[in-house]
Amino acid sequence: MKKIKIAYIGGGSKQWARVFMYDLALVNDLCGEIGLYDIDIESAKRNKAIGENINKAPNVVTKWDYKVYSDLDSCLNNADFVVISILPGSFNEMRVDVETPIKYGIYQSVGDTAGPGGVMRALRTVPFYEEFAKAIKRICPKAWVINFTNPMTICTKTLYDVFPEIKAFGCCHEVFHTQDFLCDVLKEEKGYRPNRNEIYTEVSGINHFTWITSAKYKDDEIFDYLDDYIDKHFKEGHYEHGSNEQYKTDPFAYANRVKMDLYKRYGVLGAAGDRHLVEFFNNNWYLKNPEMVNEWKFALTSIDFRVNQMYERIQESKDLASKKKPIELKKSDEEAVDLMRAILGLTSKISNVNLINEGQMPQIKLGSIVETNAVFTHDSVRPIMAKPLPEAVLAQVNRCQTNVETLYEGIKNRDLKTVFASFVNQPLCSNLTLEDAKALFKEMCEKTKDYLTVYNLDDLNSL
């Protein structure tokens, strides 16, 4: 059994930490310490209590030592893995990200990766990641770093730019859901449904704007059945995890109508959920107004919903920590623990991952962050050459990737004029006049200035 230390930055997480801890408790070849570091130390202490209760669950396989750290360096000391999952800012800032653009006719279904919200979230997040990268370089330079924070692409970019020798990658589960969708297609068209891990999907793009160019189960190319399947289901849609109408009550649900529409147009399948994909296109395509959103059968995730969900999760954490609610230990569909086991040489794994482009996507600028498949083996994560994207898709991916590069340079140099160049070129801002774009950017910066202290907001006057 391998004994390791995992340093968890954002260890007060209200949801993902528990998923991670559950999965770790159910493997039989890893053990050791999980160090929890969070600016909200009380939340980290609750997760420590939850972890200790997990250790007492009847079906626990491995018991871990949970420790709360009040400073980052101590948490990172002797770490074999560093996991980063943080919320940059509060829901007050996210409310600005999502709600302020509405008065300019810009609706966002998520607001954490692309569009005005994605830019503002990056402004808040990158300075934190600069410090994380410096600390990792200083304290545990050989540790493997797994990022789960959005905006995924620019967070991973920051880690590599500050510490080029870092061993880091970004993990996102959106592709998993699309694989489930493809398995449902196979079930209807061929009469059998494999597990998503039994199909192989060719993946390429950037995070949340990732595309599947081929999907195979044994000798079956699932794309061969997509035209007929979409013809039958385009109007009502199909949600791989529930009802086609579930989006009406669950703002994280969708009916894949956008995904089907894109496949009809381009012949490749968007590999993220519809609510992410739509934010990379002109806002009149799918996000013109709430009525259009409803027609496409996804939802605008409101901040009020997120706030209420946060309070529910805090209460659930308290109940689990105090044993008021029993631990129900079961494995998730996430792959982080499997990837760690592969890096430790206990298995091997192929999965989609966000890495520096070393040529695995030759159509995209080298050195940028792209999402493709990679092989995970002992102390190694090697990207796999991706199939080329159609030119029409590539043009849009390149635009969005260029926006990330421009945005990063602006943030790195604390140059709000360059940041604005990325802001105004976001597809969701396509219908803004230049003056309206300036006004919106200034307003969003002013409303979130408490988290933008590393920038000189007086520079906004020179836009």
CA distances from 327 to 19, 21, 31, 347, 417 (A): 12, 11, 19, 28, 50
Close Cβ partners of 329 (under 8 Å, ≥ 6 residues apart): 22, 25, 26, 54, 57, 59, 60
| 370: β partners | 355
Residue 192 corresponds to which tokens in the numbers above? 């059998």
CA distances from 76 to 37, 40, 147 (A): 9, 17, 15
Pairing of strands 81-84, 144-147: parallel
Q: How far apart are the C-alpha atoms of 439 and 391, rounded to whole Å?
A: 34
Q: What is the 3-state secondary structure (H, E, C) of 338-390?
A: HHHHHHCCCCCEEEEEEEECCCCCCCCCCCCEEEEEEEEECCEEEECCCCCCC
Q: How far apart are the C-alpha atoms of 111 and 220, rounded to whole Å?
A: 37
Q: Of the candidates 350, 342, 376, which has an alpha carbon nearest to the alpha carbon of residue 29? A: 342
Amino acid at 390: P
To the query of whether residue 173 is one of the catalytic residues in this protein, the response is yes
Of 173, 233, 241, 378, which is the active-site residue? 173
Q: How far apart are the C-alpha atoms of 264 and 234, rounded to whole Å?
A: 10
Q: How far apart are the C-alpha atoms of 50 and 48, rounded to whole Å?
A: 5
Kindly list the catalytic residues: 173
